[in-house]
Amino acid sequence: LMDIKSELAHHKIKIGNIILGEAPFIIAGHCTIDPKNPNLFIESAHAMKEAGAAAIRGGVWKPRTMPYAFQGDDASMKILIEAKEQTGLPVDTEVMDEHQLSIAVEAGVDILQIGARNALNYSLLKKVGQETADKQIAVLLKRSMGMGPVNEFIAASEYIAAGGNPDVMLCPRGTSPTMDGYRNYPDECITPLLKEKTWAPVIVDPSHSVGRAKYVPSAAMAAMAYGADGVIVESHCDPKKGIGDDPKQAITPDVLKKLIQDIHQIWEI
Ligand code: PEP
Ligand code: MN
């Protein structure tokens, strides 16, 4: 029987030039890359770097509630990798199936996001662990909407570790039923419970949790106060031109810059 937790108790994850836990790890960028407007994503990527982000997010393929909504586009992968090359920062994108997984690994994506809808897809989790083992690729595992806050969430992360990749980050992103006024029910408060029980760093997603740009900075600060190792934030150089969640959720680079400064301050306390 494997005891992954004690084996990995002191495991450290390095992404780009940050060792998680030693400095706040902030991922920022578009919810969704617009393949019709590649320059917008490149412009945002430079703005994320300038604001102090450690990695850039950009959705290539999107899990949308409505089948008629934009589902993402293979062509966006090239734009994401262009942003990586121009900024020198690691990049994050969500994969939802094995085909997307192999494209993303091949392309050089640094952080693979497993979305809330797939956090209980054990065969995908196993495959992700196997396909990313020993490749310097980290996995950001979102908490699914109704997932047990601690044991079920940690167990899902262990599927990836047991598959071969211990570089897993846990990402609370709000749960259901929703809180009236927010998109989901904010759950950054589970951070200390997770950190007590696993090696995996906790990177909170305040954007999907509260779902409104104006509440994102305080939700991000709450996460850091709870002891998160960092946050993943939707940010866009021109949110109203964004697609997916960006018009509602994305903060502008100037708001992001101030947030990152505040995060560094709270980190020192
Ligand atoms: C996202 O990060 O854009 C996203 C779809 O997140 P979640 O899987 O948490 O809904
Ligand atoms: Mn989104």
Would 11 be classed as within a structural domain? Answer: no
Nearest ligand atom owner, CA of 213: 2
CA of 102 to the centre of ligand 1 (A): 20
In a domain, 1, yes or no: no
- The residue range of the domain holding 83 is 23-268
Q: How many CA atoms lie within 13 A of 179 on its CB side?
A: 11
* Residue 14 within any structural domain of the chain: no
Does the bond joining 177 to the residue before it have cis omega, within 30 degrees of 0?
A: yes
What ligand has the least distance to the C-alpha of 113?
A: 1
E strands within the chain?
14-15, 18-19, 25-32, 55-59, 91-94, 111-114, 138-142, 168-171, 203-204, 230-234
16 within some domain:
no
- For residue 15, tell me if it sits in a domain: no
CATH of the domain at 144: 3.20.20.70
Amino acid at 176: S
Per-residue pLDDT of the chain (269 residues), as tens digits, is 567 888 898 999 999 999 999 999 999 999 999 999 999 999 999 999 999 999 999 999 999 999 999 999 999 999 999 999 999 999 999 999 999 999 999 999 999 999 999 999 999 999 999 999 999 999 999 999 989 999 999 999 999 999 999 999 999 999 999 999 999 999 999 999 999 999 999 999 999 999 999 999 999 999 999 999 999 999 999 999 999 999 999 999 999 999 999 999 999 98
Residue closest via CA to ligand 1's atom 1 equals 31
Domains: count for the chain: 1
Q: How far apart are CA 32 and CA 261, in angstroms?
A: 25
Say yes or no: CB of residue 211 within 6 Å of ligand 1: no
172 part of a folded domain: yes
In a domain, 5, yes or no: no
For residues 249 and 216, the answer to whether their CB atoms sit within 8 Å is yes
Residue 123 lies in a domain: yes
